[in-house]
Amino acid sequence: EKSRQGDRNMSREQMNEEEYKEFMNKLDSFTPTIPDEVTEYFLQRSGVTFSDPRIKKIVGMAAQKFIADIASETKIVAQRRKEVGKKNKDICFCSEDLIPVLKGHGINVQKPQYYADSDTVALPSAGTKREAPAEGGRVEDPTQVKKTKKKATTRRKT
């Protein structure tokens, strides 16, 4: 926690010329987890153009740091959830752990209407048809299923 606080303080301060030169020299040998091509694609898609190729690496480094922070915070949330259950020794990241962390960073995530881990979702059996969702956009009762009758058609050979 203390080193993390130090990171925050360092980011608020400006680098002196020597630190800047050292950073830029190390940047050339740095290989980001997110490939430069991916970073460049999203920068271009967002309308960002740049003349210095090192900018791409700096943005990639910032994205890597952001993802690492999200993963670290999600791990803490998952550990706290695990302590409540204490059934299994393994930590499993779930969307219920990730969503509040992302929300804390200003990213709103909503599950799709028919998300697989939702208790309002039921797979229709063969020959059944789902009705349109209730007014709120969700199927509140998974038994809202109608049977459909298939018409028997026969062809006569002539």
Are the beta carbons of 58 and 24 closer than 8 angstroms?
Answer: no
* Predicted TM-score (pTM) above 0.85: no
pLDDT at 121: 53
Residue 120, domain member (yes or no): no
The more confident residue out of 105 and 138 is 105
Residue 47, domain member (yes or no): yes
- CB neighbourhood size of 144 (10 A): 14
Residue 75, domain member (yes or no): yes
pLDDT tens, position by position, 28-51: 888 888 998 999 999 999 999 888
Residue 157, domain member (yes or no): no
Containing structural domain, residue 44: 13-104
Number of domains in the chain: 1
Residue 156, domain member (yes or no): no
**Cα distances (angstroms) measured from residue 25 to each of 12, 19, 41, 54, 138:** 21, 10, 24, 10, 54
Residue 29, domain member (yes or no): yes
pLDDT tens, position by position, 40-95: 999 999 999 888 888 888 999 999 999 999 999 999 988 888 777 666 677 777 88
Residue 121, domain member (yes or no): no
Dump strand ranges (E) for the chain: 128-130, 145-147
Residue 110, domain member (yes or no): no
